[in-house]
Amino acid sequence: MASNDDRTTRRIAVLVAMEGIEQVELTSPWKALEEAGWEPVLVAPEQGEVQAFEHLDKADSFPVDRTVADVSATDFAGLVLPGGVANPDALRLDAGAVGLVRDFVQGGRPVAAICHAIWLLVEADVVRDRTVTSWPSLQTDVRNAGGTWVDQEVVTDGMLVTSRKPDDLPAFNTAVLDVLGATP
């Protein structure tokens, strides 16, 4: 995780699709990261703005900072994957996004996924032999991918942090900061 560029060691990629992001699963970790001195960077498949949702209702939109094609795992200290059903479902069809997730995990960088974002980890084939949690309906997907699914508010397995739902965000944010080392 060490880098000669001090800015890289403080940047955290937050990977989202162009729409369908559960807003609180984007904004709550973002705020926690900023308050702890990290620099979140919104990464998406395309330039423009992404559309967040409050469950099924449109919420705010957010400007994309960088595209998937223009970044690599080595540009960041870690990766956060917000949920929402449509968000990770779209991203798991994007080879660049899936490859980026795989690169973070295989590179030993911290990765944090909440709710349905586990789909990206399943698609990247990085849950095998790991213990994770997610939205309960995805437990079969995790097991079929060789992972162990547990029903806990947050699970940390090495550098991988997973959580179930928006109610778990306080524990998720704490675990994310813990795996990042709490300070840049």
What residues are annotated to the active site? 115
Work out the widest C-alpha separation in the chain, in whole angstroms.
43
Buried-state track 42-67, b at ≥16 Cβ within 10 A, e below 16: bbbbeeeebbbbeeeeebeebebbbe
Burial 89-114 (b: 16+ CB within 10 A, else e): ebbbebeebbebbbbbbeeebbbbbb
